[in-house]
């Protein structure tokens, strides 16, 4: 038997909520007209959005409740059983029967993989042809807890799985700018989900024999990443507990990435990418605080008097200056959405690719410096890169 404190985790090890087709809660404890005698649950579409419809059969009536938040469905099923039911049959990527006794302890029986049914998850996102497929077993994703032993994405890792695939799509867009045997630096790599994904994409899927070095100032994080890289047999992936400034400036680095480096750390990541003459620079900024206390502009004084608007405008201005500075250093630059806003507000990526046909334009430099003057700011990105403006 499984206690009610542990049953949710146990169910999640078998059931992927995105694949849930139907569930039937039955065998009521109180068989009266005031309580539902059965509850049917199914996924439906309302206004082009998926939701879960709970149908409560009370006496001769059926009452419907529609819930959009998929993350609470299994928890709600457990709560309904605790209130009045002994059994629930669930059909998803696996089928199972959930039983509850008088002490509210649970038992899972009859687990088997679903067959002859369409288990394609309905999602409010457009159907995407992901590079990494849900249902495909990949060893390193399993060991990181993103998928289960059947290759099905774990319910609470859905956002991470989408983020990884979105990142790989971006790598696909820039891969032609990287030669075989390229070297990539990941500045501020953190737990390195995306670093492992990048290695897998370039070396396993594309066979480009890429070397990747990750840098982070947290010793325990670096030690764990090196342990995982060894476990995954990613031989050309190493992590270092040191500052990126220790990289030999004469070393041939083809790409530098920086994902969610805080405040001016993003500026330094971009600076080192330019300094090392990288083919590609990918940067996802985070926590842009620098300009907030500097920015002044009489024309926009009304907007800047509101703290939250000033903060957002300061962030947008910061990333505009970063992207423009890269253009002035000889890069084709774009700002794109890294991951949907519903997942994280820190969703902007600056993508810069070395421009082989770049020509210096004095007017562009003057426009950049005029922007700085108009807002009375002295951004770090300008101090670092002005000597590189071609």
The helix/strand/coil state of 186 is strand
Q: CA-CA distance, 280 to 239, in Å (whole number)?
A: 20
At 335 the pLDDT is 94
Domain spans in the chain, listed from the N-terminal domain onward: 7-113, 159-388
At 45 the pLDDT is 79
At 342 the pLDDT is 43
At 222 the pLDDT is 93
At 184 the pLDDT is 96
At 251 the pLDDT is 74
At 339 the pLDDT is 65
Nearest to 207 by CA among 228, 232, 229, 182: 182
DSSP per-residue letters across 356-368: TT----HHHHHHH
| pTM, two decimal places | 0.66
Intervals of the chain under pLDDT 50: 120-127, 340-345
The helix/strand/coil state of 112 is strand
Domain 159-388 adopts which CATH fold? Rossmann fold (3.40.50)
Question: How do residues 159-209 score in pLDDT, each as one tens digit?
Answer: 889 889 999 999 999 999 999 899 999 998 888 899 999 999 999 999 999
Question: Which residues in 322-339 are b (16+ Cβ under 10 Å) and which e?
Answer: bbbbbbbbbbebebeebb
At 128 the pLDDT is 58
At 194 the pLDDT is 93
At 123 the pLDDT is 43
At 148 the pLDDT is 84
What torsion do the CA atoms of 102, 106, 107, 113 make, to the nearest 10 degrees? Answer: 140
Q: Which two tokens stand for residue 327?
A: 């253009």
Question: How do residues 258-292 score in pLDDT, each as one tens digit?
Answer: 987 788 889 999 999 999 999 999 998 888 889 99
At 346 the pLDDT is 58
Q: CA-CA distance, 218 to 335, in Å (whole number)?
A: 29
Ramachandran region of residue 227, left (φ > 0), alpha (ψ -120 to 50) or beta? alpha
């Amino acid at each position: 038997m499984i206690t009610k404190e542990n049953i949710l985790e146990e169910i999640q090890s078998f059931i992927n909520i995105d694949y849930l087709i139907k569930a039937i809660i039955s065998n009521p404890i109180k068989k009266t007209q005031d309580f539902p005698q059965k509850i049917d649950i199914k996924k439906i579409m309302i206004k082009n959005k998926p939701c879960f419809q709970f149908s409560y059969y009370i006496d001769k009536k059926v009452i419907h409740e529609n819930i959009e938040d998929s993350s609470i469905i299994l928890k709600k099923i457990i709560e309904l059983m605790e209130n009045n039911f002994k059994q629930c049959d669930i059909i998803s990527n696996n089928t199972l029967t959930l039983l509850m006794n008088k002490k509210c302890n649970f038992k899972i029986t009859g687990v088997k993989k679903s067959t002859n049914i369409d288990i394609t998850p309905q999602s409010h996102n457009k159907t995407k042809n992901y590079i990494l497929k849900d249902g495909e077993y990949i060893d390193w994703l399993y060991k990181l807890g993103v998928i289960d032993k059947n290759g099905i994405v774990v319910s609470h890792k859905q956002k991470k799985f989408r983020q990884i695939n979105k990142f790989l799509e971006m790598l696909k867009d820039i891969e032609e700018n990287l030669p075989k045997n390229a070297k990539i630096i990941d500045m501020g790599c953190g737990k390195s989900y995306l670093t492992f994904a990048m290695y897998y994409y370039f070396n396993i899927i594309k066979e480009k024999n890429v070397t990747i070095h990750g840098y982070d100032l947290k010793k325990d994080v670096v030690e764990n990443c090196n342990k995982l890289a060894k476990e995954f047999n990613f031989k050309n992936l190493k992590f270092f507990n040191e500052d990126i400034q220790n990289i030999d400036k004469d070393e041939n680095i083809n790409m530098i990435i920086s994902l969610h480096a805080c405040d001016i750390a993003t500026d330094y990541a971009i600076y080192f990418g330019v300094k090392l003459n990288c083919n590609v620079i990918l940067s996802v900024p985070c926590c842009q605080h620098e300009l907030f206390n500097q920015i002044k502009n009489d024309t926009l004084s009304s907007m800047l008097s509101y703290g939250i608007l000033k903060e957002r405008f300061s962030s947008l201005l910061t990333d505009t200056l970063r992207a423009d500075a890269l253009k002035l250093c000889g890069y084709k630059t774009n700002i794109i959405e890294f991951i949907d806003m519903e997942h994280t507000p820190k969703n902007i990526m600056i993508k810069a690719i070395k421009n082989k046909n770049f020509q210096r334009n004095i007017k562009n430099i003057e426009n950049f410096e005029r922007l700085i003057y108009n807002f009375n700011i002295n951004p770090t990105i300008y101090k670092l890169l002005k000597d590189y403006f071609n």
